[in-house]
């Protein structure tokens, strides 16, 4: 099956004209973010299998029974009791995040299953959900980013993206830790003054990826991010790479007990809010019936003042009935659940790889939840270093040439009896246990504390 997609439609080009007019008027990045989403190009689907719900149900349970779980009985967790995660990001005033909530979310990341485990509930952002949040065209998108063997040098990639001379580029490349970078100040100047409007668009989109989506070096865009953006012109998608680095960063911080989150925190929180309509109403005052992803990413990241201990207690005792299982902006469709010989979906990021099991969260698609195949998930993560990583990258890239999808057909109750039994005896990895005695209604946990400005107004 071949899919042909033009990079930018006429309406999109017109919208970008308006964006850059606002940039030139304001000279700020915030004006751009209000009007611009993410530019993701799609490509050719090589081999696609769509299977019935019943067939996948049988295959998954038999696979789990034969191969075993992600972690075996007797596993001893090496994770710390509390992860001190930092969400320091670039100073984007319109995209401030609720740090209390984000620090709380990190405590519930379950590295053994690549998901969040809240009480009796597993949740994880999926390829389909992020594709919808980022407003990618609804095509079967199966050609993921993969680091090429022979890639242009960093200066050559920047020259192709910016249209500037090698001398200009070389003078502005800096060393930040283990990576080469180019500063946001240099790119901002090009956005405002470059004579080629198409190049201004490219530089602006590259800056979004480096500053907001994958902000590894603050106020700089590093070489790996540039490589991903350079490959978008080859009709690859960035969604699996964004998810991979989100999962890897959460896992790295959990295993180390501390660290800075490297990923799009705003996008992750927007996804989280969308699965909790009560939180959406009490805290954010955002309604998703008339959904506009970028608007809600901004609105849902307004600074609120629910104490961190309230968030922990709420999520620690979360029940299935508290979850808005199918996000209201998700259009029913087919679900990618495995690739090639993998029993789950492997994801290639820009610094490493990891796997996740969409069958673990079928309820997020409005489907009946059955036992997922999870064997091998714990060993799926690796970084792009060492002797054998290139071989593993090649295996994952080949697996994405043969993707398997599940037809979305809602059947019967929310879960199967076998799933309830499996979930009850499953071994997690240092997940906070529910505090049943201290459980209270969600509304009580979501008592919003007034901000300092509100207190001052009241006293005045």
**337-381 pLDDT per residue, tens:** 999 999 999 999 999 999 999 999 999 988 899 999 999 999 999
Least confident of 71-80, 120-129, 203-212: 71-80
Is residue 43 in some structural domain? Answer: no
Name the band, by pLDDT with cuts 50, 70 and 90, for residue 46.
very low
- The predicted pLDDT at position 16 comes to 46
Is the Cβ–Cβ distance between 142 and 403 less than 8 Å? yes
Q: What percent of the chain has pLDDT over 90?
A: 37
Q: Are 194 and 308 within one domain? A: no
Is residue 460 in some structural domain? Answer: no
Is residue 447 in some structural domain? Answer: yes
Q: Are 260 and 379 within one domain? A: yes
Chain-wide mean pLDDT for the chain? 78
More confident residue, 23 or 394: 394
Q: Are 153 and 99 within one domain? A: no
- The predicted pLDDT at position 71 comes to 85
Q: Are 230 and 257 within one domain? A: no
Token couple for 250? 């959460």
Is residue 200 in some structural domain? Answer: yes
Q: Are 138 and 151 within one domain? A: no
Looking at 193, 216, 235, the residue that finishes a domain is 235
Q: Are 391 and 258 within one domain? A: yes
pLDDT higher than 70, residue 90: no
Is the Cβ–Cβ distance between 271 and 260 less than 8 Å? no
Q: What percent of the chain has pLDDT over 70?
A: 71
Name the band, by pLDDT with cuts 50, 70 and 90, for residue 150.
confident
> Taking residues 279-286, what's their average pLDDT?
44
How far is the first Cα of the chain from the last one, in angstroms, to the nearest whole number?
66
The number of beta carbons lying within 10 Å of the beta carbon of residue 437 is 6
Looking at 235, 262, 281, the residue that finishes a domain is 235
Is residue 346 in some structural domain? Answer: yes
Q: Are 199 and 76 within one domain? A: no
> What's the number of domains the chain is made of?
2
Is residue 126 in some structural domain? Answer: yes
Looking at 196, 216, 235, the residue that finishes a domain is 235
Name the band, by pLDDT with cuts 50, 70 and 90, for residue 120.
confident
Name the band, by pLDDT with cuts 50, 70 and 90, for residue 48.
low
Kindly report whether the global pTM for this prediction surpasses the value 0.75: yes
> Taking residues 300-314, what's their average pLDDT?
69
Q: Are 107 and 124 within one domain? A: yes
Is residue 359 in some structural domain? Answer: yes
Q: Are 331 and 207 within one domain? A: no
Q: Are 188 and 315 within one domain? A: no
Q: Are 120 and 154 within one domain? A: no
Least confident of 53-62, 384-393, 429-438: 429-438
Nearest to 423 by CA among 364, 343, 369: 369
Domain boundaries, position 189: 10-36+147-235
Taking only the tens place, the pLDDT of each residue in 1-44 is 333 333 444 444 444 444 445 544 444 544 444 344 433 323 33
Is residue 137 in some structural domain? Answer: yes
Q: Are 385 and 445 within one domain? A: yes
């Amino acid at each position: 099956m071949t899919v042909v997609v033009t990079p930018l439609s006429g309406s999109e080009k017109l919208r970008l004209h308006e964006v850059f007019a606002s940039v030139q008027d304001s000279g700020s990045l915030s004006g751009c973010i209000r009007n611009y989403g993410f530019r993701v190009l799609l490509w050719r689907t090589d081999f696609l299998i769509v299977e019935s719900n019943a067939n996948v149900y049988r295959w998954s349970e038999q696979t789990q029974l034969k191969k075993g779980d992600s972690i075996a009985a007797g596993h001893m967790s090496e994770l710390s009791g509390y992860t001190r995660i930092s969400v320091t990001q670039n100073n984007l005033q319109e995209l401030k995040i609720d740090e209390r909530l984000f620090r709380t979310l990190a405590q519930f990341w379950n590295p053994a299953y690549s998901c969040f485990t809240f009480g009796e509930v597993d949740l994880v952002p999926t390829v389909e959900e992020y594709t919808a949040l980022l407003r990618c065209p609804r095509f079967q998108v199966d050609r993921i980013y993969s680091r090429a063997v022979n890639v242009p040098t960093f200066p050559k990639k920047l020259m192709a993206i910016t249209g500037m001379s090698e001398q200009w580029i070389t003078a502005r490349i800096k060393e930040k830790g283990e990576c080469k970078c180019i500063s946001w100040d240099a790119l901002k100047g090009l956005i405002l003054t470059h004579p080629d409007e198409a190049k201004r668009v490219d530089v602006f989109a590259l800056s979004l990826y480096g500053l907001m989506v994958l902000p590894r070096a603050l106020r700089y865009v590093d070489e790996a991010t540039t490589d991903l953006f350079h490959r978008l012109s080859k009709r690859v998608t960035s969604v699996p790479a964004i998810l991979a680095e989100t999962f890897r960063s959460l896992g790295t911080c959990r295993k180390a007990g501390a660290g800075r989150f490297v990923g799009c925190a705003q996008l992750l929180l927007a996804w989280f809010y969308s699965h909790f309509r009560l939180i959406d109403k009490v805290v954010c005052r955002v309604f998703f019936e008339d959904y506009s992803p970028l608007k809600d990413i901004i609105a849902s990241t307004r600074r609120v003042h629910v104490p961190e201990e309230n968030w922990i207690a709420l999520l620690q005792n979360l029940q299935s009935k508290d979850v808005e299982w199918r996000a209201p902006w998700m259009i029913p469709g087919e679900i990618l659940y495995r690739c090639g010989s993998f029993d789950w979906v492997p994801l290639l990021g820009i610094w490493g790889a990891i796997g996740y099991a969409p069958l673990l969260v079928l309820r997020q698609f409005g489907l009946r939840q059955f036992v997922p195949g999870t064997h091998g998930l714990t060993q799926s993560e690796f970084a792009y270093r060492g002797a054998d990583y290139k071989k593993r990258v090649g295996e994952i890239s080949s697996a994405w040439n043969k993707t398997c999808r599940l037809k979305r057909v809602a059947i019967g109750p929310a879960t199967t009896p076998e799933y309830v039994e499996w979930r009850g005896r499953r071994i997690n990895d240092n997940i906070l246990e529910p505090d049943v005695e201290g459980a209270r209604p969600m509304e009580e946990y979501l008592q919003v504390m007034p901000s300092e400005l509100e207190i001052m107004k009241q006293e005045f």
